[in-house]
């Protein structure tokens, strides 16, 4: 019997990413209920998938058909909503990235999930990418330390991708204060490019768990420069590892999302399909003195994999791919970078 899913927040990530994923996984999940602060939007999205609209989160949690809950609201609501879901005795949670926006929220969220002892999966799909997991299992002992890491994310605006993925239904009036990027289109007209914390916790957060596996020490940010219409360059180091992040979104159709890393005798290239469009897993090429090895691509992408991980943990148990301690450490890493990037902007503004 498929697990009943309750969805909190019926906006773009729900419509363009999670509903298509859940439709592909209909043997595992059925959408039971949808809530949103816009009742009209909850009604429309629920009707589209044969689910019940719920006026509030409390109503959704009171529905016994809701066994697991997906938190797809703006970032600042994640911690309190995950806490409410944990207290309600539900069987598992998928919470969109970032799990939380501050250390205090992170503590609140982790404490609630720990107390409830239920599975938590974060909607950071690259962390669950099948090719990445296969590569990590192999790389455990095979590679020496990284020296230089570079992330490049060149993408069309999210809205372009959302339009490829689905026909988005919007609430009658603009949703109250939409969350920060990866909801990047909302910020495309800003004068100075994206805000530092938003781009770190909204976009680069997808690559940071990967980067942390190769550069575990909390990074020190050297510079952050935003670029119009929506992009930035961030330079940092983690101990002896130099890390450069580049992101740039614009109207043009161009997707070039890649992570590269170099050690003394190896190099790594991860090519990542754009979000939203279910184009399969990453393709990972590792070159060592023994030659080249390629992982992926597989048809299953990180979105499928994160939901399948939740299903496995809820129905069969076992060890999570990422225990709470790892989810927390990934989040702390990202928040530390976001805070420093914001401080670098403030310092620049004062000079
Ligand atoms: N994993 C990914 O690829 C990916 C992509 C985009 C967004 N996201 C994440 O998904 C989340 C939502 O992003 P989005 O692009 O869908 O934003 P959105 O603004 O399109 O949708 C958010 C929805 O939540 C509703 N909402 C606001 N406050 C709420 C509350 N307190 N309770 C219930 N609903 C509420 C809004 O009315 C809106 O419909 C963010 O955390 C974002 O970082 C993840």
296-305 burial code (b ≥16 CB/10 A, e <16): bbbebbbbbb
Q: How far is the CA of 177 from the centre of ligand 1 (A)?
A: 10
Cα R_g (the chain), whole angstroms: 20
Q: For ligand 1, is residue 28 a contact (CB within 6 Å)?
A: no
Q: For ligand 1, is residue 13 a contact (CB within 6 Å)?
A: yes
Query: How much is the pLDDT for 141?
Result: 78
Q: How far is the CA of 312 from the centre of ligand 1 (A)?
A: 25
pTM higher than 0.85, yes or no? yes
Closest approach atom of ligand 1 to CA 11: 21
Asked if residues 100 and 108 have their Cβ atoms less than 8 Å apart, the reply is yes
Query: For residue 321, how many other CB atoms are within 10 A of its CB?
Result: 15
Closest approach atom of ligand 1 to CA 77: 31
Closest approach atom of ligand 1 to CA 178: 19
Q: For ligand 1, is residue 306 a contact (CB within 6 Å)?
A: no
Number of residues assigned to the chain: 351
Q: How far is the CA of 248 from the centre of ligand 1 (A)?
A: 21
Of the candidates 61, 75, 57, 68, the residue with the CA atom closest to the CA atom of residue 8: 57
Pocket test for ligand 1, best of 19, 57, 178, 306 (most atoms within 8 A of CB): 178
Q: Is the backbone peptide bond immediately before 5 cis, with ω within 30 degrees of 0?
A: no
Query: How much is the pLDDT for 146?
Result: 97
Query: How much is the pLDDT for 228?
Result: 86
Q: For ligand 1, is residue 97 a contact (CB within 6 Å)?
A: yes
Q: For ligand 1, is residue 15 a contact (CB within 6 Å)?
A: no
* Helix 130-142, helix 302-315: angle, nearest 10: 80
Start-end of H helices in the chain: 12-13, 19-24, 39-48, 57-62, 78-87, 103-116, 130-142, 158-165, 196-202, 208-214, 302-315, 324-350
Q: For ligand 1, is residue 314 a contact (CB within 6 Å)?
A: no
| Closest Cα to atom 36 of ligand 1 | 175
* SS3 state of residue 293: strand
Query: How much is the pLDDT for 158?
Result: 80
Q: For ligand 1, is residue 11 a contact (CB within 6 Å)?
A: yes
Query: How much is the pLDDT for 179?
Result: 39
Query: How much is the pLDDT for 321?
Result: 96
Q: How far is the CA of 149 from the centre of ligand 1 (A)?
A: 30
Q: Which residues of the chain have pLDDT under 70?
A: 173-193, 349-351
* SS3 state of residue 133: helix
Q: For ligand 1, is residue 9 a contact (CB within 6 Å)?
A: yes
Q: How far is the CA of 295 from the centre of ligand 1 (A)?
A: 32
Q: Please report, for residues 108, 124, 161, 164, the alpha-carbon distance to residue 168 in angstroms, rounded to integers and kept in the order given.
A: 32, 22, 11, 10
Query: How much is the pLDDT for 349?
Result: 62
């Amino acid at each position: 019997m498929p697990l009943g899913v309750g969805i909190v927040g019926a906006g773009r990530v729900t419509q363009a990413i999670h509903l298509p994923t859940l439709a592909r996984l209909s043997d595992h999940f059925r959408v039971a209920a949808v809530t949103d602060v816009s009742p009209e939007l909850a009604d429309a999205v629920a009707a589209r998938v044969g689910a019940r609209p719920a006026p509030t989160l409390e109503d959704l949690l009171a529905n016994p058909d809701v066994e697991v809950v997906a938190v797809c609201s703006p970032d600042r609501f994640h911690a309190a909503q995950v806490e409410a879901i944990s207290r309600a005795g539900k069987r598992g949670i998928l919470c969109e990235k970032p799990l939380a926006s501050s250390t205090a929220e992170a503590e609140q969220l982790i404490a609630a999930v720990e107390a409830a002892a239920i599975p938590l999966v974060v909607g950071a799909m690259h962390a669950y990418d099948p090719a990445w997991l296969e590569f990590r299992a192999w790389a455990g002992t095979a590679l020496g330390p990284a020296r230089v890491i570079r992330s490049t994310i060149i993408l069309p605006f999210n809205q372009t991708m959302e339009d490829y993925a689905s026909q988005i239904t919007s609430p009658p009036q603009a949703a109250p204060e939409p969350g920060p990027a990866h909801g990047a289109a909302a910020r495309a007209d800003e004068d100075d490019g994206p805000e530092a914390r938003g781009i770190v916790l909204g976009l680069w957060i997808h690559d940071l768990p990967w980067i942390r596996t190769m550069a575990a020490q909390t990074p020190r940010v050297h510079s952050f420069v935003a670029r119009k219409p929506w992009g930035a360059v961030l330079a940092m180091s983690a101990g002896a590892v130099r890390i450069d992040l580049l992101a740039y979104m614009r109207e043009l159709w161009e997707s070039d999302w890649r992570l590269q890393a170099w050690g003394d005798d190896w190099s790594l290239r991860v090519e990542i399909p754009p979000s939203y469009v279910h184009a399969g897993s990453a393709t990972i090429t590792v070159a060592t003195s023994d030659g080249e090895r390629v992982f992926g691509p597989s048809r299953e992408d990180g979105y499928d994999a994160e939901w399948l991980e939740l299903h496995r943990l809820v129905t069969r148990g076992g060890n999570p791919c990422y225990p709470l301690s790892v989810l927390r450490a990934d989040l702390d890493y990202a928040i530390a970078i976001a805070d420093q990037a914001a401080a670098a902007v403030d310092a620049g503004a004062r000079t």
